[in-house]
Structure 1
Amino acid sequence: MKKIGLLITSVIFSAISLFADESVIHVGVLNGPTCIPAAYMIENNKTVTAGEKSADLSFEKFADPQALLPKLIKKEVDIGFMPVNVAAKVYNSGNKALLLCAVTGKGNLSLITTNTEIKRFTDLKKKTVYVAGQGATPEYMFRYILDENKLSYSSDGKTADVKLDFSIPTAQIAAQMISGKIEYAVVPEPFATIAQIKSDSVKAALDLQKEYLELSGSKEIYPLSVMVVRADFAKENKELFEAFLYEYEKSVSWTIANPAEAGKLTEKAELGLAAGIVTKAIPVSNYVYIPADKAKKQIEEMLSIFLKCDKTSIGGKLPDKNFYYGQKTK
């Protein structure tokens, strides 16, 4: 009887623990620019409510998507943020564990330089360009633009028009340019803004978004960052999950409308960026909230560029339609 009593007690505590865990939505946010709009939620949204259901929000910070992914796969995090190609690659890996639920940031890449004579991409002939992040959107978008401008490129630069160099971490590129060690770099926000704030000699000479629109004929800027959700979590907690999406959309709108206050909240949330930098970067960072089912066309256009450059970057193929979470319009 004593053993049975202990077993019953264990089951009760397990049930209580399970219930408690189900009343918490675990959100993984990335340090840096991707999750600046999440700072408002971290400060103001401790819970979400859908009818008679409610759940606490628990935010955990990660240095990069590679640190976040294992937690999502192990079901220790329910919702996360990452580049669109990373989400596609996980989905295409076979288990379809993650769904894309919204585009949260569009392209914000610039070619920054101290050379005032750079006016167009063809001016980069015989130049070495430092690119923020090998195997990521900056590389593939820059390669797409070089291809369309009929400029050859390589990592050694010996037989190409443009040499691509990935040796400098993104966060260090601005300092290297300001010190005069490098002259050309492709970077996302807020790193272009950081470089220009710290040195009058640094200019954003070329806008990769404008060039993409002209070359591709697309009417929409390509997506840069997305929100993903564990497929089973979304299925089992549909109402609460959509309540979270609704609150995040409001957070994005607030962030865009209140850059100064958003800068302060980002610094307070310790997302790795100073308030002043965030305030200046928000107007040029292209934060958005577009439900996945409404962004499918532009996502596929972007993933097609990845597919052409490196099939392994998205798992070898475009994800099927079930990759896109079809949320209700609020």
Structure 2
Amino acid sequence: MKNIAKKLLTTILSVALLAGCAPTTKKESSTPKETPKIVDPVDVNVAALKGPTSMGMVQMMKENDEGKITSNNYKFEILSAVDEVTPKIVKGDVDIAAVPANLASVLYNKMEKNLQVLAINTLGVLYICETGDSIHSVADLKGKTIYASGKGATPEYVLNYILEKNGLQVGTDVTIEWKSEHAECVQALAQDPNAIAMLPQPFV
């Protein structure tokens, strides 16, 4: 199996705030300090796609189930396809959703900018998989059929880009058979010893 997505290095910026020491002779203010207001926890509905998109939430889900998170009441929903997440975002059924970046931009404009992007990350999690040992480079994909999921989203754009940059044209040199879920691609690999699939973790 070959990793066909280039990993991007993430630069973490940290800001340190330095506080000076106040003179010991300074008198304390006689103004009474305000008591911090206690904010009641609110219900937060979170949706994410099955696979790498939701894997990063596992620790938070675990702590939420164990009652270690008390700031809000989180409810997580893991969905199989982008088509299941989109209507929930548009209708306001979810407060936070982890979705492909291209979908976020589409929804941002469709919802008249009534949407905020919190973070974008890029992971090298797309792999070309086979049960044999015939694929050693992108050039070896010529004349092959690839099972994949994620049409109209990041997986399709990444695969098309990689193939094009290596001189292969979809529909002419390579056939892509799109499935609705990654699990269907796994089934294709299990049933056909000559099958090739593009899969993300943890399906690999």
Same fold? TM cut 0.5: yes
Percent identical across equivalent pairs? 33
Supply the RMSD in Å over aligned alpha carbons. Answer: 2.7
Q: Deviation at 1:105?
A: 5.3
Kept in 2: contact 1:30–1:81 (CA 8 A): yes
Match of 1:43 in 2: 62
Q: Deviations over 1:263-314 (max 9, x none)?
A: xxxxxxxxxxxxxxxxxxxxxxxxxxxxxxxxxxxxxxxxxxxxxxxxxxxx
Q: Deviation at 1:164?
A: 1.8
AA matched with 1:109:
L
| Partner Cα distance (1:36, 1:59) in 2 | 12
Match of 1:108 in 2: 125
SS of match in other structure, 2:53: helix
Change over 3 Å in CA distance of 1:77–1:186 after alignment to 2: same
| Partner Cα distance (2:150, 2:127) in 1 | 14
The aligned runs of 1:54-65 (5 Å cut-off) are 54-65=71-82
Match of 2:182 in 1: 170
Match of 2:18 in 1: none
| Partner Cα distance (2:125, 2:162) in 1 | 15
Kept in 2: contact 1:47–1:55 (CA 8 A): no
Kept in 1: contact 2:150–2:156 (CA 8 A): yes
Kept in 2: contact 1:173–1:185 (CA 8 A): yes
SS of match in other structure, 1:80: strand
User: Quick one: which of 129, 148, 153 aligns to 2:170?
Assistant: 153
Matched, 1:126 2:143: yes
| Partner Cα distance (1:66, 1:84) in 2 | 14
- Higher helix residue share: 1
Kept in 2: contact 1:28–1:68 (CA 8 A): yes
Q: Which has the larger radius of gyration?
A: 2
| Partner Cα distance (2:80, 2:134) in 1 | 36
Matched, 1:189 2:204: no
User: Quick one: which of 91, 95, 99 aligns to 1:78?
Assistant: 95
Kept in 1: contact 2:46–2:97 (CA 8 A): yes
| Partner Cα distance (1:37, 1:177) in 2 | 26
| Partner Cα distance (1:62, 1:180) in 2 | 27
Match of 2:44 in 1: 25
Q: Which runs of 5+ in 1 are unaligned?
A: 1-18, 155-159, 193-330
**Number of residues paired by the alignment?**
164
